[in-house]
Amino acid sequence: MQLITDLHIHSKYSRATSPTLDLQNLEKWAKLKGVHLLGTGDFTHPIWIKELKVLEEQNGILKTKTGFPFIWQTEISLIYTQDNKGRRIHLLVFAPNYEVVSQITDYLKSKGRIDYDGRPIFGISCIDFTEKLKSISKDIEIIPAHAWTPWFGVLGSKGGFNTLEQAFQDQVKHIHAIETGLSSDPEMNWRYSKMDKFALLSFSDLHSYWPWRLGREATVFDLNELSYEQIIKNIREKTFKETIEVDPNYGKYHLDGHRNCHVCLEPKESNKLNKICPKCKKELTIGVLNRIEELADRPEGYKPQNAIPFKRLLPLTELIANTFSFGLNTKTCWTEYWKLIKAFKDEYNILLNVPLEKLKTIIHPKLAENIIKNRLGQIKIKPGYDGEYGEPQLDKAQLQKRLGDFS
């Protein structure tokens, strides 16, 4: 069975998340998106875990009453000092069952509070954290989250490390994968040989269930059976099918810059300025592309043998909103979205499979063409920087004809 999975999510108990981010909405919108398996998010939070415990658990998979599956997953923030330098690292954690989840939670409660945020903060090093969790269960999987982002990525520009070996030292033997994050993709990671032995995973890190967040990045598995064991085995052995990525220019930290100064720079430009903002004269936020350029030991376009393939796709709502100059969450955007969902079942089916001629029978031809261009990787993105998302640069439908007879 082929499964599109989003295994890095949050609940309504994490900071800066939707108050309606509950199991019912996660299931509803995953089905509409075409995502077949979700992480639970936030399994250490004492209220969220009570809601998760009502799900039926078998083979490490939690299922709702209608059979939609989740796996135990959380994200932990580690803030500590190593080698006389402050470190801020986010880690994804997968667990095989509720018993192990309870042991992880008990350990973290001995180190601090877990009730104030679904993604709690602890002053533990990556080394000690990994060693302790692997002593609880060898089946726990620890994955550096959004590994290249400046502020909390293990390889990011703000307090990050140059290699996973530096960050985890002797415990790196337990690290099998990273999450590439929105601002990088496998092609960028292939330029750095130190990443060759690690699987390159992609997930959304959603803070709301809207379809421009949930499943915007995903990892696709091809399994004989759905079980936690099989998911982890595919990650550790790098035998999953592919990943689905946004164009890294779409990510909030692709290029260097200062949002408040409206300064966005390519690596060569910011390096010439010694990474100082030309307007406010403060240090720029150095993005993912510059960081990879700094560490890369291979040319652009290099592809390792046996590299796992990937697709680049923007969310459908981004295509609708930018084709017609609508807001993402406007009634007019939703009208077009529901029209497509009603006709073609789910968003990933629309983005990946529905032919142009069928699309044109339902929606404005310009939107249909942009969906195909998206599928072919032909949409240019104005790059994101310093917390600002990139902006798709689409061919627009004429406003006076933007819906025409397709309303």
- Within 159-198, residue ranges assigned H as helices are 164-168, 186-189
Identity of residue 302: Y
pLDDT at 396: 78
Residue that is written with structure tokens 């999953």 in the block: 240
CA distance 319 to 207: 21
Q: How far is CA 372 from the centre of its chain?
A: 23
pLDDT tens digits along 299-349: 999 999 999 999 999 999 999 999 999 999 999 999 999 999 999 999 999
CA distance 384 to 262: 11
Query: Going along 230-337, which residue ranges are E strands?
Result: 242-245, 256-258, 263-265, 310-312
pLDDT tens digits along 196-227: 999 999 999 999 999 999 999 999 999 999 99
Helix (H, G, I), strand (E, B) or coil at 317: helix
Residue 401 has pLDDT above 90, yes or no: no
Task: Break the chain into its structural domains and give their ranges.
Answer: 2-250, 315-382+392-406
Write b or e for each residue in 99-129: b if 16 or more Cβ atoms lie within 10 A of its Cβ, otherwise e.
Answer: ebbebbbebbeeeeebeebbbbebebbbbeb
Q: Which residues pair with 283 in a beta bridge?
A: 276
DSSP 7-39: --B--TTSTT--TT-SHHHHHHHHHHHT--EEE
Identity of residue 72: W
- Asked if 191 contacts 10 with a C-beta cutoff of 8 angstroms, the reply is no
Helix (H, G, I), strand (E, B) or coil at 204: coil
- Give 327: exposed, middle or buried? Use CB within 10 Å, 0-12, 13-18, 19+: exposed
Residue 287 has pLDDT above 80, yes or no: yes
- Write down the mean pLDDT value for the chain: 96
Interval 175-203 mean pLDDT: 98
Residue 362 Cα distances to 32, 51, 339, 403, angstroms:
18, 40, 7, 11
Residue 22 Cα distances to 3, 26, 165, 313, angstroms:
22, 6, 37, 26
Task: Output the CA torsion sign for 208, 209, 212, 218.
Answer: positive
pLDDT tens digits along 65-120: 999 999 999 999 999 999 999 999 999 999 999 999 999 999 999 999 999 999 99
Interval 272-293 mean pLDDT: 97
CA distance 192 to 201: 16
So what's the architecture of 2-250 in CATH?
Alpha-Beta Barrel (3.20)
pLDDT at 296: 98
| Torsion (CA) 399, 405, 406, 407 in degrees, nearest 10 | 80
